[in-house]
Amino acid sequence: MDKLRQTRVLCVLGILILAIGVTAGLLPGQQPAAAQLTQRIDPQAKQMLDRAIQGLGGQAFLNAKSITTKGRIFFFQDGNTAGMEPFESHLLYPDKRHFSYGKTKPVILINNGEKGWELDRYGLIEQPAQQLQGWNLGNRYSLENLLRLRINEPGVLIQVGKVDFVDNVPTQGIEITEPGGASVRLDLHRQTNVPSRISYRIRNVKENAWDEYSDAYADYKIVDGIETPMHITRYLNGDRIGETFRNTAQYNEDYPPKEFVAE
C-alpha cells in the first residue's frame, strides 16, 4: 500500500472500522460447542429486552433484511475534528456491507462475512487484517446484531444492570456476558425503551489492556415502521472518535447480486 493510501486509511479508521488491534476473547468460529452451553437470562432483563425490540418496531425491526443510509461522517483526533466525508452505506444483515465515502472518486469498502476489500482510484486491494478485524467486531455489537443475534446465542448471560445517564437522559442498563468473556452493556431510554447506548469491553492484545468502546444512539426517526437512529456517536475509552449523521434511511432495498463482491 502506498503512503498516500495508507495515510488516508489511518485517518478514517476511528469511525469506519470501529476497532483496532483487539480481541473479544472467543470470536465467531471459536465458540465452544453449542451443546455445552446454556443461555442464562434474568426474567426482568428478558422483559426489558422484549420492550426494547417492540419499541424499535417489533417484527418490522426483527425481519428487516437491509438498510440503506446516506449522510455525513465526522472523525476526531485529540478532541478535535480531523475530517468530514459524505457517505452512502448499503448493509445487508447480518454481515455484508458496501460503503462509499468521499466527495470525488469515492473510496469503496466491501465486506462479505470474513472477507473485505477496498476500491479507490489506485485500484482494488484486500482490506488490511486490522481493518477487517475492526469491521467484524464493530458489526458484531451493532444495534441490529446485538438484539437480533447476540442475545439469543448459547452460553450468554443476561442480567439487569444499573441506572445511568446518556446525554443527560436517564437509562436502564442490561449487562450481557458472552461465553468468551466479552462484556456488553445495553442502556435503554427509560421512557421510550429504545437503545441509548451500547458499550463493550474488548481486550487490546497489543497493549495488554482493555479498551472500552461505546456507541450512543440519538435522533430516532420512524422509517418503514422501524425506529431508526439518525445520529450515532462513537467513543473509545471515553473519548469521542467519530460521529455519523444519517440524512436518509431506507429498509429492505434489493441490492444487485454483485454488490458485495469485489471485481
The CATH number of residue 124's host domain is 2.50.20.10
Q: Backbone phi, then psi, for 217, in 5-degree steps? A: -110, 130
Give the pLDDT of the chain (263 residues) as one tens digit per residue: 444 444 344 444 444 444 333 334 334 444 445 446 778 999 999 999 999 999 999 999 999 999 999 999 998 877 777 789 999 999 999 999 999 999 888 999 999 999 999 999 899 999 998 888 888 888 999 999 999 999 999 999 999 999 999 988 999 999 999 987 789 999 999 999 999 999 998 877 777 888 899 999 999 999 999 999 999 999 989 999 899 999 999 999 999 989 999 87
Domains of the chain: total:
1
Evaluate whether residue 262 is within a structural domain: no
Question: What pLDDT does residue 78 have?
Answer: 73
pTM for this entry: 0.85
Evaluate whether residue 172 is within a structural domain: yes
DSSP result, 117-173: EEEETTEEEEPPHHHHHHHHHHHHTSHHHHHHTGGGSTT-EEEEEEEEEETTEEEEE
Residue range(s) defining the domain that contains residue 11: 3-21+35-251
Q: Position of cell 470501529?
A: 18
Cβ partners under 8 Å of residue 20, min gap 6: 13, 130, 134
Evaluate whether residue 30 is within a structural domain: no
Evaluate whether residue 98 is within a structural domain: yes
Evaluate whether residue 187 is within a structural domain: yes
Evaluate whether residue 10 is within a structural domain: yes
Evaluate whether residue 148 is within a structural domain: yes
Q: What is the pLDDT of residues 35-76, one digit of tens each?
A: 467 789 999 999 999 999 999 999 999 999 999 999 999 988
Q: Distance between CA atoms of 194 and 168, rounded to whole angstroms?
A: 15
